[in-house]
Amino acid sequence: MATDILMPALSPTMTEGKLSRWLKQEGDKVSSGDVIAEIETDKATMEVEAVDEGVLGRILVPAGTEGVAVNAPIAILVDDGEAVPDATASGNAVAEAPKEKSAVEQAAAAPAAKVPQAASNAPTKSAPAGRVFASPLAKRIAKDAGVNLANVKGSGPNGRIVKRDVEAAKTAPAAASKGAAAPVAPGGFISTPLSSMRKVIARRLTESKTTVPHFYVSIDMQLDALLALRSQLNKASPEDGPDAFKLSVNDMLVKAAALALRRVPGLNVSFTEDALIQYNDVDISIAVSIPDGLITPIIRQADKKTLREISNETKDLVARARAGKLKPEEFQGGSFSISNMGMFGVTSFSAIINPPQAGILAIAAGEKRAVVKGDALAVATVMTATLSADHRVVDGALGAQWMSTLRSIVENPIALVI
């Protein structure tokens, strides 16, 4: 009997997602537990497993389709030899698959692609394939042993995870991690299941470092003028009250980078397969370290904001990021990133681009160094900053030009307050 394969929900709040690819083709035989497709949202990619066996009769939603509603039929599964029906098993006539968006529409949509619609709080009806099928005993043993069932392949009826699967995952942690080499550690080790954030970090950064051709431009900047301005401005803050502020060096560098992006907009871009996306706004993502990973809250239109606005907004975002209370739109999107490790005293480092952005600025510690002024040695507070840029859309000269613009703003910081 023909059955519909439905779009699964990856999380209780998910209402739609992208069907990124099909791993089975029409006419392929499918056994329960086979991975037939991959579904993607901003936060995760998940495999869709067949629950029943049969033949993949018809693919209703082609690979690469965005915005597929949860519980919408994505394919029809039929028995071997059975004719593929004209209607989905749920009775709906097979609709034309959503047409590919035109190149123009795609281009317009691309920058927004990272900005999800406000997450709906309405619970979705069900999450069929998002659910992990495991016996109660398997669930309990997994919980006690800290085994993440999402990484365990089920060997029970219809691919259900049973006790023996969890026991196997417990004793051979790497065996469950799908193909990764088993760690060899004569002294033993502790295996901690990956958090979903860690998985997203792993996936996105691997994707970035393996698919985005990075190049790096480093430059030294003298900070003395900026530090002087900072202390001058901070003295102007009221002692207390709503108008009080305390600018950090980072706040000023955010503004400086935003201004540099406005002056040299060639870095405020994204690469897509078909087009170069030039963003209208300068939205700076700030990398914030949080206990189980990192997150990048965004200062939107940072070039148009005052230092005080940037400073207060950053404090609020960082505090809520560490409390895990950011809304998706506060950390998804952004046109450029800044990662600051100056507080750790590092001399320099290079960062991995946060796709689909084309650049990230890595800021090291400002330290007193000997510099040559005129023909004499002098002492200055110097900071090494390193830009990582996507060579597909940013060429070396452009990267250098942007860095030199940034340095000129930092070293002549009056621009930050006009």
Partner 1 sequence: MSTTEFDLVVIGGGPGGYVAALRAAQLKLSVAVVEANHLGGICLNWGCIPTKALLRASEINHLLHDLGQFGFAADNPRFDFQKVVARSRAVSKQLSGGVAHLLKKAKVPVFDGLAKLSGVSGKKRKIEVTLKDGAKTVLTATNVILATGARARALPGLEPDGKFVWSYREALVPEELPKRLLVIGSGAIGTEFASFYRNMGSEVTLVEVADRVLPVEDEEISKLARTAFEKQGMKVLTGAKVGPLKKSSLEVNVDIEAGGKTHSLTFDRVISAVGIVGNVENIGLEGTRIVVEKTHIVTDELCRTGESGVYAIGDVAGAPWLAHKASHEAVMCVESIAGRHVHPIDATKIPGCTYCRPQIASVGYTEAKAKAAGYEVRVGRFPFIGNGKAIAMGEVDGLVKTVFDAKTGELLGAHMIGAEVTEMIQGYVIARSGELTEAELKETVFPHPTISESMHEAVLAAYDGALHF
Among residues 140, 209, 304, 368, which is the contact residue for partner 1, using CB under 8 A?
Answer: 140
Q: Which is nearer to partner 1, 56 or 387 (CB)?
A: 56
* Residue 137 binds to partner 1 (criterion: CB under 8 A): yes
* Residue 328 binds to partner 1 (criterion: CB under 8 A): no
Break the chain down into helix, strand, coil percent, rounded to 5: 30, 25, 40
The answer to whether 30 and 113 have CB atoms below 8 angstroms apart is no
Tokens of 115: 């900005």
Closest CA to 147 of 172, 128, 183: 172
Return all residues near 238 (Cβ < 8 A) that are at least 6 apart. 244
Which residues partner with 30 through β-bridges? 54
Among residues 157, 183, 324, 345, which is the contact residue for partner 1, using CB under 8 A?
Answer: 157
Residue 22 CB, nearest approach to partner 1 (Å): 22
Among residues 138, 254, 284, 385, which is the contact residue for partner 1, using CB under 8 A?
Answer: 138
The answer to whether 17 and 46 have CB atoms below 8 angstroms apart is no
Site for partner 1 in 162-181 (CB under 8 A): 162-163
Which residues partner with 357 through β-bridges? 270
Task: Name the one range near partner 1 by CB under 8 A: 133-141, 206-214, 233-241, 341-349.
Answer: 133-141
Spatial distance between the Cα atoms of 252 and 74, rounded to a whole number of angstroms: 49
* Residue 141 binds to partner 1 (criterion: CB under 8 A): yes
Active site (annotated) includes residue 214 = no
Find tokens 């871009």 and name the residue.
269
* Residue 144 binds to partner 1 (criterion: CB under 8 A): yes
SS3 355: coil
Spatial distance between the Cα atoms of 5 and 7, rounded to a whole number of angstroms: 7
* Residue 82 binds to partner 1 (criterion: CB under 8 A): no
Q: Which is nearer to partner 1, 169 or 269 (CB)?
A: 169
Among residues 15, 106, 126, 135, which is the contact residue for partner 1, using CB under 8 A?
Answer: 135
Find tokens 């900071």 and name the residue.
383
Q: Which is nearer to partner 1, 162 or 253 (CB)?
A: 162
Q: Which is nearer to partner 1, 142 or 385 (CB)?
A: 142
* Count, residues near partner 1 per rule CB under 8 A: 13
Q: Which is nearer to partner 1, 1 or 417 (CB)?
A: 1
* Selected catalytic residue, list 101, 308, 391, 392: 391
Length of the chain: 418
Q: Which is nearer to partner 1, 145 or 227 (CB)?
A: 145
* DSSP state for residue 244 in the 8-state scheme: -
Residue 141 CB, nearest approach to partner 1 (Å): 5
User: First and final CA of the chain: distance in angstroms?
Assistant: 71
Site for partner 1 in 13-32 (CB under 8 A): 31
Which residues partner with 87 through β-bridges? 93
Q: Which residues bind partner 1 (CB under 8 A)?
A: 31, 135-138, 140-141, 144, 155-157, 162-163
Active site residue ranges: 391
